[in-house]
Amino acid sequence: MTSLPDDLPPLAVTPGPVRAQPLPADRPVRWGILATGGIARSFVAELALLEECEVAAVGSRRQESADAFAREYGVPAAYGDYRRLVEDPDVDVVYVATPHALHREHVEMALQAGKAVLCEKAFTLTAAESGHLVALARERGLFLMEAMWMRCHPVVRRLRQLVASGALGEVRQVRADLGFVVDRAETDRLLDPALGGGALLDMGVYPLTFASLFLGEPSRISAVATLSSAGVDLDVAVALGYDSGAVAAVTATMTAWCPRTASLATDLGRVDLPGPFHHPSGVTWTPYQAGRVTGSAEPGRPQPVHEEVLGRGYTHEALEVVRCLRSGETESPLVPLDDTVALMRQMDAIRAQVGVRYDADHDARPGG
Ligand SMILES: NC(=O)c1ccc[n+]([C@@H]2O[C@H](COP(=O)([O-])OP(=O)(O)OC[C@H]3O[C@@H](n4cnc5c(N)ncnc54)[C@H](OP(=O)(O)O)[C@@H]3O)[C@@H](O)[C@H]2O)c1
């Protein structure tokens, strides 16, 4: 039976490309919050847990919303438009928290103003839009990262380290699902195609990213979905095949209370991630008898893997941004930009198969 090592090495990061002037280490990193919706609130509440961070300014479409947000979270500057926020010289990094369909415009605005950017998932609507932003950030030598906090989560990082060490055997199957019942108005961003609605881009991005963390890029993708009358995917199921012979099955839903769990099955045992798998409190490794891949081997004692998590876990993506800005790294090795674009390509392919189209698809066509 394969037991987990008693002494696990520290979680280390191999530095990314250093192309920017490092921020001073003797003062907090100053954040500018672009939008005042649900995730902006959750994120700012978590920044408050970090001495390394302060919120310098907030921007909203409406001055009243910016003022109310600033009062609630003690933010010194509040702007009634996004442009003034990105141009504030007291802002080091802009956190883009608008609906996906607006990410391209808002990330571009912040990069053009010379700011580092952390942008919420889904990074954009299409791979072409993501590629455009990545090229712009690289051209300007500016930091850019998708807010895929699961990749920075200590438990997920530990799991990747354990899998990479070979201690858990070879990953042959990944299964993951995410979603909940979305009981909202048709104009809500989750249901509105003009805002990038749909289960795939909002929820499916996590199980797909999870599969890619352990299996890399798929060579085959096959998807089915049920669409709303407005044309966004309410339920989607995706089968992925890899050159190694491994497979993955991921689903996302806006109509059902799915388990929100994940598992990795290897030739030596299984890892179970309880819900919500994308920020797990811990995971369990259940070893089976080595080499008995086809038989009915008895499972060994399940072994828990735990890590210290600060707050809900958004802290760890913020700390990764701080680490990169203080070392002058323009791309996080934990959330590589090329992986973000590759993931967007998978979502493009899935949407093409199930018939979900956004206006941005038109722009992405050659000559479009
Ligand atoms: N990482 C996570 O765990 C997580 C969780 C939830 C959402 N997200 C991501 O974060 C982004 C925002 O999600 P959310 O749940 O915070 O959405 P939300 O509550 O609807 O807030 C979005 C905000 O964007 C701004 N906005 C600008 N133009 C808008 C428009 N035309 N329609 C609606 N809002 C507009 C608004 O702020 P102002 O009025 O202040 O301008 C609005 O409050 C999405 O990309 C989503 O996928 C991530």
Residues 200-241 pLDDT 10s: 999 999 999 999 999 999 999 999 999 999 999 999 999 999
Query: Looking at the predicted structure, is the pLDDT value of residue 6 above 80?
Result: no
d(CA 135, CA 260): 34
Task: List residues near ligand 1 (CB under 6 A).
Answer: 35-40, 60-62, 65, 97-100, 102, 120-121, 147, 149, 189, 195, 202
Q: What is the DSSP letter of 252?
A: E
Which secondary-structure segment (H or E) carries 96? strand 93-96
Q: What is the mean pLDDT of residues 16-33?
A: 94
d(CA 296, CA 301): 16
Tell whether 42 is covered by a domain.
yes
Cβ atoms of residues 356 and 238 within 8 Å: no
Query: Looking at the predicted structure, is the pLDDT value of residue 292 above 60?
Result: no
Give pLDDT, residue 333.
97
Reduced to 3 states (helix: H, G, I; strand: E, B; else coil), residue 46 is helix
- For residue 36, report the distance from its CA to the centre of ligand 1, in Å: 7
Tell whether 315 is covered by a domain.
no
Is residue 100 located within the same domain as residue 244?
no
Give pLDDT, residue 164.
96
Is residue 52 located within the same domain as residue 169?
no
Q: Last residue of a domain, which of 92, 121, 149?
A: 149
- Quick one: tokens of 147? 């807010």
Tell whether 313 is covered by a domain.
no
Give pLDDT, residue 18.
86
Question: How do beta strands 247-253 and 233-241 pair?
Answer: antiparallel
303-348 pLDDT, tens digit per residue, is 999 999 999 999 999 999 999 999 999 999 999 999 999 999 999 9
Query: Looking at the predicted structure, is the pLDDT value of residue 357 above 80?
Result: yes
Tell whether 334 is covered by a domain.
no
Among 189, 321, 335, name the best residue to mutate to test ligand 1's pocket (greatest count of ligand atoms within 8 A of Cβ): 189
Tell whether 19 is covered by a domain.
no
Is residue 142 located within the same domain as residue 162?
no
Give pLDDT, residue 290.
55
Among 72, 79, 96, 120, name the best residue to mutate to test ligand 1's pocket (greatest count of ligand atoms within 8 A of Cβ): 120
The boundaries of the domain holding residue 131 are 29-149
Least confident of 8-12, 176-180, 322-326: 8-12
Nearest CA to ligand 1 atom 15: 38
- The values of phi and psi at residue 129, to 5°, are -65, -45
Is residue 241 located within the same domain as residue 276?
yes
57-79 pLDDT, tens digit per residue, is 999 999 999 999 999 999 999 99
Give pLDDT, residue 367.
46
Kindly tell me the sign of the dihedral angle through the C-alpha atoms of 314, 319, 325, 327. negative
Atom of ligand 1 nearest to the CA of 201: 47
238-281 pLDDT, tens digit per residue, is 999 999 999 999 999 999 999 999 999 999 999 999 999 999 99
CA distances from 333 to 115, 215, 324 (A): 19, 17, 9
Query: Looking at the predicted structure, is the pLDDT value of residue 297 above 90?
Result: no
How many independent structural domains does the chain possess?
2
Is residue 160 located within the same domain as residue 48?
no
Give pLDDT, residue 184.
96
Catalytic residues: 121
Tell whether 67 is covered by a domain.
yes
Q: Last residue of a domain, which of 149, 177, 196?
A: 149
What CATH number is given to the structural domain containing 279?
A: 3.30.360.10
Tell whether 5 is covered by a domain.
no
Is residue 220 located within the same domain as residue 109?
no
Q: Last residue of a domain, which of 149, 182, 217?
A: 149
Give pLDDT, residue 368.
45
Is residue 65 located within the same domain as residue 92?
yes
In this structure, the dihedral spanned by the alpha carbons of residues 272, 274, 276 and 282, taken in order and rounded to 10 degrees, is -90
What CATH number is given to the structural domain containing 69?
A: 3.40.50.720
Number of residues that make up the chain: 368
d(CA 213, CA 207): 10
User: Across the strands, what pairs with 262?
Assistant: 176, 273
Is residue 35 located within the same domain as residue 143?
yes
- For residue 124, report the distance from its CA to the centre of ligand 1, in Å: 13
Is residue 87 located within the same domain as residue 164?
no
Residue 367 neighbours by CB under 8 Å, 6+ apart: none
99-155 pLDDT, tens digit per residue, is 999 999 999 999 999 999 999 999 999 999 999 999 999 999 999 999 999 999 999
Longest CA span, the chain: 65
* More reliable by pLDDT, 38 or 366: 38
Is residue 130 located within the same domain as residue 235?
no
Query: Looking at the predicted structure, is the pLDDT value of residue 291 above 70?
Result: no
Is residue 272 located within the same domain as residue 256?
yes
Tell whether 160 is covered by a domain.
yes
Give pLDDT, residue 366.
52
Is residue 293 located within the same domain as residue 262?
yes
